[in-house]
Amino acid sequence: MARAEHASRRLLDAILPVVADLSLPVVLRTIVESAVELVGARYGALGVIGEDRTLVEFITVGADPDTVRQIGAPPDGHGILGLLIVDPQPLRLTDLAAHPSSYGFPANHPPMGSFLGVPIRVRNEVFGNLYLTEKLAQPEFTQEDEDLAIGLAAAAGIAIENARLHARVSEIAVLEDRERIARDLHDVVIQRLYATGLSLSATIPHAVVPIVVERLRVAISDLDATMRDIRSTIFALKPVVRSPQGLRVEVLDLVERSTNALGFSPRVTFDGLVDSAVPESLRDHVLAVLREALTNVAKHAIATSVSVTLTVDDYVRLVVADDGVGAATATSGQGLHNLTSRATALGGRFSIESAPGRGTTVTWEVPLGVA
């Protein structure tokens, strides 16, 4: 019982440093350092397995930097190291070189005899393998060493998963901040500048002094240049997640290209993780619906303003509202019929609210997880 309690304390002492950090590179090195100390090994390594079932990362402890440099390129997962990749089960050997799968050691490699290897699993996936060599003060690793290494590997899997989740949460937080800043720049700053420009333009016909007229025109030109600069900044803030151009940028670009046909710039509002949450398979649908809606406004609405709102929560919801002549229905044209069919096919809905002289609001929404 005393021996078991001692082993448990040793394992707990080894686990605590592993789970204390949320940085994945630090966690991986700490795993190896803790394992070497836990089982009394001279050397330790952690090999991360890639999609092609080779070692894409190899972290070592015990060999000095000069020795590591002299050995050269790290192993890619052949020989004894590859056994655990092919068959991820604990492996204990008295003499590495005597095993039939041994490839031998490269030049300048320190001699290694005894060996202990265990897989590290993250959920049901083998993340990598923990390799320990040269048992100190004994000719080989024991069953107790193997049990301790397995226990540490189990804790390591949890620590690796936590580090991955922490990194993802941090990434999402950054994306949300960038989207919020971009949204505020567009929805508040640009709209105010645009309104100021319109006000100044309306003032020009009432100005009688030529120099005042000229200064008003210069001010309007400067405002236009400022809005272009802010739009460039907004585009730079867009997180590149699944494609070189985010959905937010594509929507703004499509709206910008519709300005000539409409005769004015629509107001655009975003809400939610537009770039990071909407899958590529839904992007084309959103853009096609927006293109059709804006085309209908330009052809039929005789509108003086349009608002475009794209919301992402459990649904992807696109709302296009104008102040035109109204009286549109979901069956009044092939284009609107196509929007209805597109929404229905994705498990969503398409609706129109319209009345003569009161404008039209179209709403297209589909569940986020359909594609």
Q: What does the mean pLDDT of the chain come to?
A: 81
Return the closest-CA partner of residue 276 out of 243, 230, 322, 227: 243
- Given pLDDT bands bounded at 50, 70 and 90, which one contains residue 170? low
Distance CA(154)–CA(285), nearest Å, equals 44
Res 309: pLDDT: 93
Measured on CA atoms in the order 169, 170, 175, 176, is the torsion positive or negative? positive
- Given pLDDT bands bounded at 50, 70 and 90, which one contains residue 59? confident
- Residues 103, 249: one domain? no
Domain assignment present for residue 359? The answer is yes
Looking at residue 277, which CATH number applies to its domain? 3.30.565.10
224 contact partners, CB below 8 Å, separation of at least 6: 197
Domain assignment present for residue 161? The answer is yes
Distance CA(349)–CA(50), nearest Å, equals 42
0.75 exceeded by the pTM?
Answer: no
- Residues 23, 164: one domain? yes
- Given pLDDT bands bounded at 50, 70 and 90, which one contains residue 213? confident
- What is the span of the domain harbouring residue 343? 244-371
Instruction: Compute the radius of gyration of the chain from its Cα atoms.
Output: 32
pLDDT tens, position by position, 325-359 = 886 654 455 567 778 888 888 899 999 998 888 89
Distance CA(363)–CA(257), nearest Å, equals 21
Q: Which of 168, 192, 219 is the last residue of a domain?
A: 168
Res 241: pLDDT: 44
Sheet holding 41-49, edge to edge: 55-61, 41-49, 125-135, 115-122, 91-93
- Residues 156, 273: one domain? no
Least confident of 132-136, 195-199, 255-259: 195-199
User: Three-class SS of residue 196?
Assistant: helix
Distance CA(64)–CA(42), nearest Å, equals 12
Which residue, chain included where needed, has tokens 């000069």? 66
Distance CA(225)–CA(186), nearest Å, equals 15
Least confident of 20-24, 139-143, 152-156, 284-288: 20-24
- Residues 347, 249: one domain? yes
Compute the average pLDDT of residues 128-135.
Answer: 91
Domain assignment present for residue 60? The answer is yes
- Residues 154, 21: one domain? yes
Distance CA(206)–CA(198), nearest Å, equals 14
pLDDT tens, position by position, 221-249 = 878 777 777 766 666 565 544 444 678 88
Domain assignment present for residue 110? The answer is yes
How many structural domains comprise the chain? 2
Compute the average pLDDT of residues 142-152.
Answer: 89
Q: Which of 102, 134, 168 is the last residue of a domain?
A: 168
Return the closest-CA partner of residue 83 out of 93, 94, 68: 93
- Residues 14, 145: one domain? yes
Domain assignment present for residue 186? The answer is no
- Residues 76, 162: one domain? yes
Distance CA(222)–CA(207), nearest Å, equals 19
pLDDT tens, position by position, 36-46 = 998 999 999 88
- Given pLDDT bands bounded at 50, 70 and 90, which one contains residue 191? confident
Return the number of other C-beta atoms located less than 10 Å from residue 192's C-beta: 10
- Residues 161, 306: one domain? no
Compute the average pLDDT of residues 252-258.
Answer: 86
Q: Which of 145, 168, 191 is the last residue of a domain?
A: 168
Looking at residue 30, which CATH number applies to its domain? 3.30.450.40
- Residues 144, 13: one domain? yes
pLDDT tens, position by position, 6-18 = 556 666 666 766 6
pLDDT tens, position by position, 61-114 = 888 888 888 888 888 777 888 888 888 899 999 988 888 887 777 777 888 889
